[in-house]
Chain A
Amino acid sequence: MMYDVVVVGGGPAGLASASESSKLGLRTLLLDENPRLGGILPQCIHPGFGLHCLGEDLTGPEFAHRLIEEVRGSGVEVRTQAHVTSLAMRSDLVKEVTYASPQGTEAVQAKAVIYAAGARERHRFEVGIAGDRVAGIYTAGEAQAMMDLYGVMPGRRVVIVGSGDVGLIMARRFALEGAEVVGVVEMLPYPGGLARNLMILRDFDIPLYLSHKVTEVRGRGRVERVKVVRVNEELRETGEGFWIDCDTLLISAGLVPRVKILRRAGAIMDPATGGPVVNDRLETTLPGVFAAGNSLIINDLVDYAVEQGRTAAKGAEEFVRGNGIPTRRWIRVRRGGYVRFVVPHMLGGDRDFWLYARVSRPVEDALVEVPEIGLRRKVPVLKPSEMLRLRIKSGVEGGRVTLVIR
């Protein structure tokens, strides 16, 4: 079976790219490994979704509902419980996507693939938490699924590792359900979440330990206490630390793009994002394979994942209609100043696009510049937790451009 586009992943980026690609007249198949569409949205029952792209304040399940309705109305073929196991380049113009389903292993062919498999959460061993292997240690997303999809309370006295949005939102969920959140432990000297989520700490009197890390878990059968140690500016442990009694440890230490399938297929990765290297169509280094959402870059707003999904769909249309994206001299995008990453990595110069970037540390009175095209903008404050998004107009020329943040 030959499709124009196969979309891998039914979360916000995948749903948006599938409906967009179908609306552009492309024969589209959407594959998702879960029994229901929406990705992680159905378990994010808090408000704050869609503020940018819909101008409405929705919860995750409501936002997912909108995207799913759009897919249903656009004629996309949908297959759930389809776990993609490989992506193979049959030629520059034909890709084969293999997936495991309740019917066994199946394969489909497509001219273009949009890879939107999302991200996974970092686990305790990635953040250096030693000690007993006991019950009561969850990633924040696991606990969220337990509470908000299955109605199960994971614990009563909770320590949370990481002050990013996911950790803060789970702090609120636990507090609302009557559990005691005895501490949010953040390794960095500043909190990680969006300002609206930092209010949660004040709302529920939750202690925040900045420049601290959890180093050890102890317990018999179940978590009984965790050790918290102060860290210096190089993030090295200083002093003996102290113990906090708790029955649950939530790890909310960031997300990692899920790119195994893409990497195995041969796409080049960017160590700074953890995702693939892409051009301004969000095409990876594999011709006709596009990436969007959290498998491209870890986004802080769902709106950006949706936007990337649509951009990738437009790229896929260009690829399918033109049997490939016309060869051109790609302009490289370099990083300067406090830029931790910038996406896309290459641009054609022939169309408008969004540039997404993050800073490596908080910068006050920041100056954002792309000197080669005369872009210069002052921003009152930039934080690593809040993505910088810049519109770059077509008409860029030259061999390279540099994003500089000072």
Chain B
Amino acid sequence: MTVYKLTCVICPLSCSVEVEVEGNRVKDVRGFSCPRGKEWAVEEVLSPKRVVMTVIRVRAGKEPVVSVKTDSPIPKERIRELMSYLATLEVEAPVFIGQVVVEHPLGLETKVVATRSVEAVETREHA
């Protein structure tokens, strides 16, 4: 049996929540003040998820990189793998805010979206 001690991050109350787990089953949750806090604590112990943010290289852009995020939280244990994958990517300018850069990377149920726009450098036409 393991007892996880967490500080709830759902609201500024910052309740100290204890989750008692045996095997893969939650035996008891203590210290929360609202149902959202309880739900968060259980998920945080059984299958923690995070939104991941980084930057991706931009080809022919006015700026060298574009900031991106996953549009939903992904399982914590897959973060490193996703980061390594995103580090290999390069997108072509222009990039627009909200644009989907990768759909379901590595089979994850999330999209990687641009969180800013990057204009393309103006290319001169040669006569």
Contacts and interface: CB of A to CB of B under 8 A. Distances in A.
A65 B97 contact: yes
Contacts of B97: 61-62, 65
Contact of B69 (A59, A147, A150): A59
Given A177-B83, A203-B50, A151 B9 contact: no
Given A151-B65, A176-B83, A195 B53 contact: no
Interface in A362-386: 380-381, 386
Interface string A138-182: 000000000111110000000000000000000000001110000
Contact of A45 (B53, B57, B83, B117): B53
B110 interface: no
Given A59-B69, A195-B14, A176 B64 contact: no
A23 interface: no
A180 B117 CA distance: 30
A46 interface: yes
Contacts of A11: none
Given A151-B64, A177-B54, A381 B14 contact: yes
B116 interface: yes
B13 A176 contact: no
Interface string B1-42: 000000111001110000000000000000000000000000
A47 B8 contact: no
Contacts of A272: none
Contact of B55 (A45, A195, A381): A45
Interface string B76-117: 100100011001000000000100000000000000000111
B54 A150 contact: no
Contacts of A203: 50, 76
A385 B100 CA distance: 36
A172 to B, nearest CB: 9
B53 A47 contact: yes
A355 to B, nearest CB: 17
A1 to B, nearest CB: 30
Interface string A61-104: 11011000000000000000000000000000000000000000
B8 A178 contact: no
A42 interface: yes
A147 B54 CA distance: 9
Contact of A386 (B8, B12, B64, B69): B12
Interface in A266-323: none
Contact of A198 (B7, B65, B115): B7
A199 interface: yes
A42 B83 CA distance: 20
A149 B9 contact: no
A196 interface: yes
B52 interface: yes
Contacts of B43: none
A62 B55 contact: no
A195 B67 contact: no
Interface in B46-69: 50-55, 57, 63-65, 67, 69
B97 to A, nearest CB: 6
Nearest to A381: B14
Contact of A149 (B8, B51, B63, B79): B63
In order of increasing CB-CB distance, the 9 nearest A-B pairs are A151-B65, A61-B116, A196-B9, A45-B67, A59-B115, A195-B14, A151-B64, A61-B115, A195-B7
5 contacts: A47-B69, A58-B115, A61-B67, A65-B97, A176-B52
